[in-house]
Structure 1
């Protein structure tokens, strides 16, 4: 089968009453278009079209799926459709709104509100380029993830998991609102089948249990990714991926470099979220919100000589990092 990516639908194609304007994005699991509804309002139209399972020639509407991959394609399609059905029931400003979902052209389309702005990933890259002491201000990180967690809590209350939280999937609108986009349910269903050839996870943001078969996932799985996103906002780049951490965990020494730059509480919250043992993480979004929103007097511990020696050695003296403890009761929404 050709490795050529499926061709996008051409402009002015009419799908389910929506007219395609242009392609906005493409990934391993489909394409996203800017489209207009019947009243001329812009919407984002997401098309299920995994590039490892299907091809589509330029100018064509129907995907072509080899017979040996048809059952897997249909399994992912069913999951994508069910994801649209579930998301359509959620109404929260921090969760992308699904306005409609329908089957056409032997695939499924999800219609979402069209957001203008940029992803958190773009903000991090821009901030990192400024080469300041802080990639993002602590007050900004706390405020941003307060919004993200409010939306994620509603998602979990609907018995859903996001499963692909990362800076590229946190959208910052022009009104400075954070919105969770691009849920990964279809990815995970395909992953459990064991035959899909592309990674189902984003290294650095995927919890250790996502790399294992038949391992229970829950709110703690998304919480790991939230911690990794906060880490990225502080460091300017993602943490090591879970397999590397399980072999030699450098998270504590990496976070130690941020002592004195960010409050002790924020550093401890990130370490708590990113515990490699799922039971050592916050078990609910509410528990994490409660800790992140503490308003006690902030404390900033300056790194000591031992910390600096550890950095030069590339890790903790004596081997693995200690298990992260629950954060102490210190926090602030303000920068020092």
Structure 2
């Protein structure tokens, strides 16, 4: 059996001999068997392992299988299939088990052929669940990524900004934001065409991304030709250094822009804001960085300005 078809089965049974028999069968089928002789060990195993199937005796002392199933369903959001094992095959007993949250019922002594079929059915369910989870992860990535530049999109930026804001507030560390705009991008598009304009956006995004070095830092496409860089745990002085570095490295890439009145290569204007400036919300932080960016463009572009009580040009 391939490891992709292997599942982890938790056998909850107060009879040690029966528990060993069932675990031996599960392992003989190529799966992982975990043991628990009651509710305490059951929860210990569930906390320590990712279980895909539970085989549970109903008639156990202290906490029986029906009550334990109710507790499991209440505690865990993830649905774990539960198959009851019992020598009592009365309809009323079966109904109680299913109503408690059980999925199936096998009478003892358990026939190997029937248990084999039940486990194989659960393997198919577990495989489909893994495939669904992978698809959901890919979809989640797509919904949070700008399809053109492959950096975070605006939705992902809003989420990450909130997370960074609350993290830095909680541990009393600064959070800096860079708002970046490609200078004279409309002129670039008009002259070179939209296809080349898209290539320019991808090149700028790549240059910025390659020079955002720390795992905690992130970059997003804010919209159009604007990008945002989040720098948690970064003071204003270090944010200035990073802004100058990004601007310099992009200019050194020498992406031709003969229609720019500022330079004959693609350049960027940057606005900086930091939480050290007595900012009261992450929305205010972004707005202040945007105000500083606006001032950079008013001043002639290809420069960086910092938002303070009065916006200060630094380059």
TM-score of the pair, normalised by structure 2: 0.24
Structure with max Cα Rg? 2
TM-score of the pair, normalised by structure 1: 0.23
Structure with more helix by fraction: 2
